[in-house]
Amino acid sequence: METGNAIEQTKSELVLLVGKLRRLCLTILAPRKTRNRMQKRTSKCRQCASCCKFIFRCPMLDENNLCKIYHSRFRPLVCRKFPIDQRDLEDVYISSGRRCGYSFIDTQSRQQRLH
pLDDT 10s digits, 43-72: 999 999 999 999 999 999 999 999 999 999
Domain that holds residue 57: 3-114
Task: Over range 85-92, report the average pLDDT.
Answer: 96
Q: Quick one: pLDDT band at residue 110, thresholds 50, 70, 90?
A: very low
- pLDDT the model gives residue 7: 86
Query: Mean pLDDT across the chain, nearest whole number?
Result: 90
Q: How many domains does the chain have?
A: 1
| Cα–Cα separations (whole angstroms), residue 49 to 28, 99, 102 | 23, 11, 13
- pLDDT the model gives residue 1: 56
- For residue 37, pLDDT over 60 is answered with yes
Task: Over range 111-115, report the average pLDDT.
Answer: 45
Of 19, 15, 70, 16, whose CA–CA distance to 46 is shortest? 70
Q: Quick one: pLDDT band at residue 3, thresholds 50, 70, 90?
A: confident
- pLDDT the model gives residue 5: 87
